[in-house]
Amino acid sequence: MKTVTVSAPGKVILAGEHAVVYGYSAIVAAIDKRMKVTVKESKKVQEYSGLVRFALELMGEDKRGWDIKIDSQIPIGSGLGSSAALATALVWAIKPAAKIEEKDKLIKEIEDFAHGKSSGVDQTIVREGGFLRFRQGKFKKITLPISRAILIDSGRPAETTGEMVGLVARGNRERQMKQIGEIVNKWTVDKISLNEKLLEQIGVVGGKAKSMIRAVEAMGGQAKICGAGGVRTGSGMILAYAQNEDKLRQLIKDKNWPHMEVKFGGKGARYEG
Ligand code: MEV
């Protein structure tokens, strides 16, 4: 029986998360951290849970046996697009002959399951790679002056992306959404702090992440969460930027913060081997 392997990149939203769900633009970059999914038909029907189970049922493949191996460099549930990478790699691996539009539709349904309501930005960057400006299902490839970033880990959120999107939906946040949209339209790295303030106003940043971000700002840098966020515990990965990178690295070292470095502009999803 044939084995199919697909790899898909993670992503960092540089500006515009949450507002993108309401039709505003977002700027997003694929990263060099990838998820590899290998599937093989098997005689035994296995029980899967969560997103994998939902995806198999959606594709009408849950009564068939599948060995699914997931090998990921993307931290799960930390704002780096792990659900979109998994959804994409699974659909591409299980339905290799399907047209791209059909694959995209399935991935959108899986992303809606994971996000409550998804804008489509994550699955689009995972498919395309590089850097994109995305709005309402449409995208433009762009180039940006930053090629890598330091991500500080504020801890895995207790909430799912769907819960955070739901939390925002219950607030009356149209003013902040519009302001986030305006930031994206005139984005430069100097707008990171302002974007973060608005994310704090819409209530998606927890206390731990806020205090880490204040410390980065106090040393002259800028930082923001880069996904759906979280309030009860961690808020996922924080994108940190400083002109004086040595000073930022020293702060991270002094505070003993877990962190990772990523390169932007990673390649989109692809079949391996
Ligand atoms: C999650 O990576 C980004 C959100 O804007 C949700 C979405 O766009 O689907 C929070």
Query: How sure is the predictor about 273, in pLDDT bands with cuts at 50, 70 and 90?
Result: confident
126: its two tokens = 């995972």
For residue 229, CA distances in Å to 53, 59, 79, 157, 177 come to: 25, 29, 7, 7, 15
The model carries a pTM of 0.96
Query: In the predicted model, is pLDDT for residue 145 greater than 90?
Result: no
Tell whether ligand 1 has an atom less than 6 A from the beta carbon of residue 122: yes
238: its two tokens = 């924080």
Tell whether ligand 1 has an atom less than 6 A from the beta carbon of residue 196: no
**Cα–Cα distance for residue pair 249/9, rounded to 1 Å:** 25
pLDDT exceeding 90 applies to what percent of the chain?
96
Query: In the predicted model, is pLDDT for residue 71 greater than 80?
Result: yes
Query: In the predicted model, is pLDDT for residue 155 greater than 80?
Result: yes
**Cα–Cα distance for residue pair 185/24, rounded to 1 Å:** 9
Query: In the predicted model, is pLDDT for residue 1 greater than 80?
Result: no
Model confidence pLDDT, tens digit, residues 210-261: 999 999 999 999 999 999 999 999 999 999 999 999 999 999 999 999 999 9
Residues 62, 64, 67, 69: is their CA dihedral positive or negative? Answer: negative
Tell whether ligand 1 has an atom less than 6 A from the beta carbon of residue 135: no
174: its two tokens = 């149209």
Q: Please list, in sequence order, all residues whose beta carbon lies within 8 angstroms of the beta carbon of residue 170, skipping any fewer than 6 positions away.
A: none
Pocket test for ligand 1, best of 78, 83, 117, 122 (most atoms within 8 A of CB): 122
> Given phi > 0 = left and psi -120 to 50 = alpha, else beta, which region is 110?
alpha
Return the ligand 1 atom nearest residue 165 CA: 10
Residue 28: what pLDDT? 98
Q: Where do we find the tokens 């959804």?
A: 87
Radius of gyration of the chain (CA): 18
Where helices occur in 129-173 by DSSP H, the ranges are: 161-170
Return the ligand 1 atom nearest residue 13 CA: 2
CB atoms closer than 10 angstroms to residue 82 = 25
Exactly one of 32, 71, 112, 122 is catalytic; which is it?
Answer: 122
> Given phi > 0 = left and psi -120 to 50 = alpha, else beta, which region is 264?
beta
Active-site residue, 122 included: yes
Tell whether ligand 1 has an atom less than 6 A from the beta carbon of residue 25: no
